[in-house]
Structure 1
Amino acid sequence: MIEFKYIKNFTEEQLSDLFLSVDWYSGNFPQKLKTAFENSSRVISAWDGEKLMGLIRGLDDGVWQATIDCLLVNPKYQGQQVGSTLLKMLLKDYEHFLYVDVVPDEKKNVIFYQKHGFEIMEEGTPLQIKGANWK
Structure 2
Amino acid sequence: MEWSSGEYPEKLAIAMKNFDCVFSAWDEDKLVGMICAMDDGIMNAYIHYLLVHPDYQLKGIGKQLVERVKKHYNDYLKIIVICLNENIKFYEYCGFEKQEDKRALFITELEN
**With structure 2 as the length reference, what TM-score do the two structures score?**
0.93
- The residue number in structure 1 matching 2:4 is 25
Moved more, 95-104 or 48-57: 48-57
Cα distance in 1, alignment partners of residues 100 and 85 from structure 2: 16
1:100 positional shift? 0.8
- The residue number in structure 1 matching 2:92 is 114
1:127 positional shift? 0.5
2:73 matches 1:94: yes
Cα distance in 1, alignment partners of residues 7 and 100 from structure 2: 35
Note the residue ranges of structure 2 that are not aligned, 5 or more in a row.
Answer: none
Cα RMSD (Å) of the superposition?
A: 1.3
Cα distance in 2, alignment partners of residues 133 and 61 from structure 1: 23
Structure 1 runs of 4+ with >2 Å offset: 132-135
**With structure 1 as the length reference, what TM-score do the two structures score?**
0.78
Cα distance in 2, alignment partners of residues 97 and 134 from structure 1: 34
Where do 1:32-47 residues align within 5 Å? 32-47=11-26
Cα distance in 2, alignment partners of residues 50 and 100 from structure 1: 30
2:105 alignment partner AA: L
2:103 matches 1:134: no
1:30 positional shift? 1.4
Per-residue CA shift, 1:69-118, capped at 9, x if unaligned?
111101011111110100001111111100111010x2111011111211
1:115 alignment partner AA: Y
Percent identity between matched residues is 38
